Amino acid sequence: MPPTPGAAEPEQAVAVALDAAAPEEVNTPARDVAVGLFILAWAVVGWISVAGNSRLFGDFGRDPGPALMPVVVLAILSAGGLAILATAIVRLVRGAGPQPAERTTFGARLRPHLVPATLLVTLAVYPTVMHAIGYAAATAVFVLGWILALSGWRYLPHGRARLLAAVAAVGATAAVVAILYTSFVVVIRAPLP
């Protein structure tokens, strides 16, 4: 996005162009509620652990002890999380802030996260499979499967288009297996299963 010609000051022209390139997003109250809860979740887990650990509060002489920093940091997190949550709830009740343009169903909102979540699950299984069938085979299966799935191979017409996509996927898989093998086994001599 080029700067607007004719703007009074160069700084303004650049700022206008940058704004157009990346418009600033205003936080919705609903998202801020989630932000507050996200921060408080960390704080709650932290407080539970601190409360259950009596050794933290022993006598350490002149050392303020291992409880000092956790308590200070958890206090900051709790106060910050509560402040964000409270402000967001007030905004939500008042109906302030930008509203979502259109109402979407829960399923429609989850759909964009389906592929990332599936990737995560397969990645969690991938090292176990690596132990069972070896690095090269496991990586080949993982990479080839995902590339074919994401390339929309199933929807391609039979014949040349499918063949080309398959060849590209196999080529990319071979490249990934070889690059990772070279990086880890050859260069840094890390033992892979």
Partner 1 sequence: MLDPFFSALAAILTDPYLLALSVGGVVVGTVLGALPGISSTMALAILLPVSFAMSPEAAMVFLLAVFSSSVFGGSISAILLNIPGTPGAIVTQFDGYPMARSGRAGHAVSIALLASTLGGLFGLAVLVVVAPVIAGAAMSFRSPEFAMATVLGLTMLAYSSPGSTFRGVLMGAIGLLCGMVGFDALTDVSRFDFGSATLQAGIDMVPLTVGLFGLAEVMRNLGLRREDVPEVPKMGSIMPPWRTLWPLWKPMSRGSLVGTFVGAIPAAGSAIAVVVSYAQEMRLSRTPERFGKGAPEGIAAPEAANHACVGGALVPMMTLGVPGDTMTAVLMGALLLHGLRPGPMLFADNPDFVGMIYSGLFFAVAATLVCNLALIRVIVLVMRTPRHMLMIGIAALCVVGSFAIRNSMSDVYVMLAFAVVGYVMGLLRLPVAPLAFGLILGPILEENVRRSLIVSGGEWSVFVERPIALAMLLLSLVALLYPVAAAGIRGLRGRKAAAPAPAAGGQDPR
30: phi then psi, degrees, rounded to nearest 5: -60, -40
Binding to partner 1 in span 37-56, by CB under 8 A: 38-39, 42, 46, 49-50, 53, 55-56
Binding to partner 1 in span 80-109, by CB under 8 A: 80-81, 84
In angstroms, how far is the first alpha carbon of the chain from the final one? 49
Residue 30's nearest CA partner among 132, 114, 103, 80 is 103
Q: How far is the CB of 149 from partner 1 (least distance, A)?
A: 9
Q: How far is the CB of 100 from partner 1 (least distance, A)?
A: 14
* Cα gap 159→157, rounded to integer Å: 6
Give the residue, chosen from 119, 136, 166, 170, that forms a contact with partner 1 under the rule CB under 8 A: 119
* Cα gap 30→82, rounded to integer Å: 15
Give the residue, chosen from 127, 133, 161, 164, that forms a contact with partner 1 under the rule CB under 8 A: 127
Q: How far is the CB of 124 from partner 1 (least distance, A)?
A: 6
Q: Which two tokens mark 20? A: 């157009």
Give the residue, chosen from 19, 20, 69, 134, that forms a contact with partner 1 under the rule CB under 8 A: 69
- The amino acid at residue 187 is V
* Cα gap 64→54, rounded to integer Å: 15
Binding to partner 1 in span 137-166, by CB under 8 A: 139, 142-143, 146-147, 150-152
Q: Which stretch binds partner 1 (CB under 8 A): 31-39, 90-98, 99-107, 153-161?
A: 31-39
